[in-house]
Structure 1
Amino acid sequence: MEPDDPRIRALVTDVAGALRAELAAVAADIERVIVDAMPILEGDDAHALRAGIGDNVDAALHLLVEGSPSTAPTSAIADAQRFAQRGVPVAVLIRAYRVGQARFLDLCIDQLLRQSEGDHAEVQATRAMVAIASEYIDRVVEEVVTAYEESHDDWVRDRSAVLAMRIRAVLRGDAVDVAATERTLGYRFDRDHQALVLWVEDHEADAHVRIRQVVGAVTETLAGDRSALIVPQDESTMWAWLPLASSVTAGGELSVAVKSEPSVVVAAGEPLAGVDGFRRSHRQATSARAVALAAGPERAPITPFADVAAIAMLCADVESARAWVHETLGDLAVDSTRNEGLRETALVFLQTGGSYTATAEQLFLHRNTAQYRVRKAEEARSRPLREGRLDVELALLACRWLKGGVLQPAP
């Protein structure tokens, strides 16, 4: 009889209907068999499988009844992603599916036997063949996948080493074959590049995943089908270069991406063209990162080099910078909420050419309030803000970006 024979369809539908009526029990049975067969899956890993197993069983039973193909359930995809982030080998995931499939078929055959008459010789023979084939495939797939993973890991390590070597040669300014390097990296130099240094501080296993999500979100918006170049540096830090159209900066898009993944901290260079721009933008990004690290936990989520270029030079000697800031600003450099507001007003006042009106407009203050704050800032400094104006502005910028790195503790 063919699979579309009405009698076969009726039997299959009846079996699926009976199992669906006991879906929770069926899923629990399959989960137990999987965990018993695979001691490596215990605790959180076993618990994480539960939703995926139930949804997979439901999808399979629906397929038996409707006959229409189905996509993987969302929970099953989430399980796979979670296992990958926890470092569970893919062979374990595949074997879990093989064991689950064998148990599912066994339960289907049990139900079929309950609903049909006769000695069931054909059905029992089918059960035996399914069991033997499943055991064989289970064993062979595990060996084959393990061999694949070992070979793939070796290849990835070798390729990562080659990529890192080529990139460092470019960054050092070595004479390189540009065309050959582009082919190796899969990235072209004849465009504008904005370099990023991205990192997280929690050192969780999925750090690189979160960083790639941020880079991917920005690249998708700005670069279309052009891929960013991403290079891991350690378990929690990555370098990236965004391929940009001329005169485009990834400022707003980067802010949106980081807000969606707030654990990722970013230092950004300026968009610059060609091989030299590739190098210079990266140097800028690493300088901006030095500012972010010097700022400590209070740093901004994104540190653009354009905003901290002068401050970056101070990071070479933060202790000396702290002393200089104190000498320049006096008590205005003391770390307090009140002083923070005074410093911000003073900085805007200097940046707007000493205009109280422009300062008030930019900070959304009344003009008299802006004038009052400037006077209080000068009292804290014990000198007019315009005295040594360039030094004062640089010191105020250092306070804004380096925060506790250069501020004096409150008494």
Structure 2
Amino acid sequence: MVSRANRSHLIHFATANLRKPGQPVPANLGPDPLRMARDLVRRGLDASALDVYRVGQNVAWQRWTEIAFGLTTDPQELHELLTLPFRSASEFIDATLAGLAAQMQLEYDELTRDVHAEHRRIVELILDGAPISRQSAEAKLGYPLDRSHTAAIIWYDDPDDNQNHLDHTARAFGRALGCPQPLIAVASAATRWVWVSDAATLDTDRIHQVLDHAPHARIAVGTTARGIDGFRRSHRDALATQRMLARLRSQQRLAFFADIHMIAVLTENPDSAADFITSTLGDLESASPQLLTTVLTYINEQCNASRAAHVLHTHRNTLLRRLETAQRLLPRPLDHTIIQVAVAISALQWRGSQTSDPVETPVEGITSPPPESLGRRRSRLAQLER
């Protein structure tokens, strides 16, 4: 293939000079060079492999120099024999390599689209429970299905963000979980479905580091489960997590299904969820994040004020004053509604910040309150919290 391409270039260059001596030689993008470019891409090589042409150029130029010096020793004639051909050959090779590099990129894009389309087709068959052989699916995906799987959905809210960055983030997520070659399926221009096999641990810090390098990306992570059924289940969990974030207009960039399972179920009906939060928390719903965190930490620490104060790095008396404020805001005594209050605050913390006008999300309709009434409530609550 290389020999045919080189021969094609030599013939093209010589013929062009015979027909139009001294004129620029157009790039040679004939069948043999293009076939070579296509073959290089199929072999997994990039445009740097085209440097082999430079080697051929150097060999040809050395031979031409020997011929020139064998024909004459006159400096003026040597100047004409060497300067013009050198410039012409260099420009010809530069133009040809630029054309071949562009063709290789087209071939690579086409190959990538084909691979992504095939991966998406196989993945959808698996998710739909179609009768597909595990061995066949593994061979086509290049991914083992008989192991444990941790699925994730990685997406940008803005579909115009760079898709290459999204693919890089998906691969970085796999590495963060100890899997250098995760399975990545292109769900849409701004969304990737990802599976990691035999994840070492769900290291939250490492995943946050991935997000630090991808400021526009968001990640929803499913549970870890084994086999093809686990492949499906983990993806369903990741999808439920993503939908909950969208439903609540949450600004959280990382969420695990294990952490939000109860909240996801509770908020499947946004109107009912909003009613539950309001009826359970009363005026506490509009309290400061600090006060809400204090109450939730107190409950999580089994209503032990000393332990809660230690977790929050605050004085016990300060914590008790905050709890007294919270109790005045709650419609019913905290001691009688501990579970309901914990669930309501957890759901509230996942919900996105309220906006000035009622807003509907693409997934479900969630309406925020008018700004005037909310502002008056927060002003009154701020006085109480002091």
Q: Same fold (TM over 0.5)?
A: yes
Partners of 1:212 and 1:151 lie apart in 2 by 19
Distance change (3 Å), C-alpha of 1:271 and 1:123? farther
Task: Structure 1: give runs of 5+ residues left out of the alignment.
Answer: 1-89, 106-116
Q: Which of these residues, 298, 311, 322, is aligned with residue 362 of structure 1?
A: 311
Give, in whole Å, the separation in 2 of the partners of 1:156 and 1:401.
Answer: 37
Conserved? CA contact 2:170–2:192, under 8 Å? no
Q: Give the aligned length.
A: 299
How far apart are 1:386 and its partner, in Å? 2.9
Q: Give the structure 2 partner of residue 264 of structure 1.
A: 217
1:260 maps to a residue whose letter is: H
- Aligned Cα RMSD in Å? 3.3
1:291, 1:402 within 8 Å by CA — same for their partners in 2? no
Provide the rounded CA distance (Å) in 1 between the counterparts of 2:198 and 2:269: 34
Deviation at 1:331, TM superposition (A): 0.9
What is the percent sequence identity of the aligned residues?
26
1:111 matched residue in structure 2: none
CA contact (8 A) 2:159 2:189 kept: yes
C-alpha offsets along residues 243-300 of structure 1, whole Å, 9 cap, x if unaligned? Answer: 2346x2242321221123222111111222221111111111111112322343x622
From 283, 288, 296, the counterpart of 2:241? 288
| Pair 1:215–1:401, CA change in 2 (3 A) | same
Corresponding residue SS for 1:300:
coil
Following superposition, the deviation at residue 398 of structure 1 comes to 0.3
**Distance in 2 between residues matched to 1:236 and 1:303, nearest whole Å:** 18
| Offset at residue 133 of structure 1 (A) | 2.6
- What residue in structure 2 maps to residue 212 of structure 1? 167
For 1:313, the equivalent position in structure 2 comes to 265
Distance 1:295 1:234 in 2: 22
Aligned residue for 2:88? Answer: 132
Q: Equivalent residue for 1:273? A: 226
Contact 1:191 1:245 (8 Å CA) reproduced? no
1:349 has 2:298 as partner: yes
**Distance across 2 between alignment mates of 1:221 and 1:304:** 15
Runs of 4+ in 1 over 6 A off after TM superposition: none
Residue in structure 1 matched with residue 119 of structure 2 by the alignment: 163
Tell me, yes or no, if structure 1 residue 327 matches structure 2 residue 276: no
8 Å contact from structure 1 (residues 262, 301) kept in 2:
no
- Contact 2:284 2:292 survives alignment (8 Å): yes
**SS class of match (1:271):** strand
**Rounded Cα–Cα distance in structure 2 between residues aligned with 1:356 and 1:122:** 95
Inter-partner Cα distance in structure 1 for 2:298 and 2:85: 84
3-state SS of the aligned residue for 2:335?
Answer: coil
TM-score scaled by length of structure 2:
0.68
> Is residue 144 of structure 2 the alignment partner of residue 188 of structure 1?
yes
Aligned-partner residue type, residue 192 of structure 2: M
Higher helix share: 1
State the distance in 2 between where 1:251 and 1:183 align. Answer: 31
TM-score computed with the length of structure 1 as normaliser = 0.64
Q: Structure 1 residue 150: deviation in Å? A: 4.1
Cα drift, residue 309 of structure 1: 0.7
Q: Match for residue 122 of structure 1? A: 78
Task: Report the Cα distance in structure 2 between the residues aligned to 1:210 and 1:140, rounded to whole angstroms.
Answer: 30
Contact 2:184/2:195 (8 A) holds in 1: yes
For residue 194 of structure 2, what is the aligned residue in structure 1?
240
Indicate the residue corresponding to 1:38 in structure 2: none
Contact 1:192 1:244 in 2 (8 A): yes
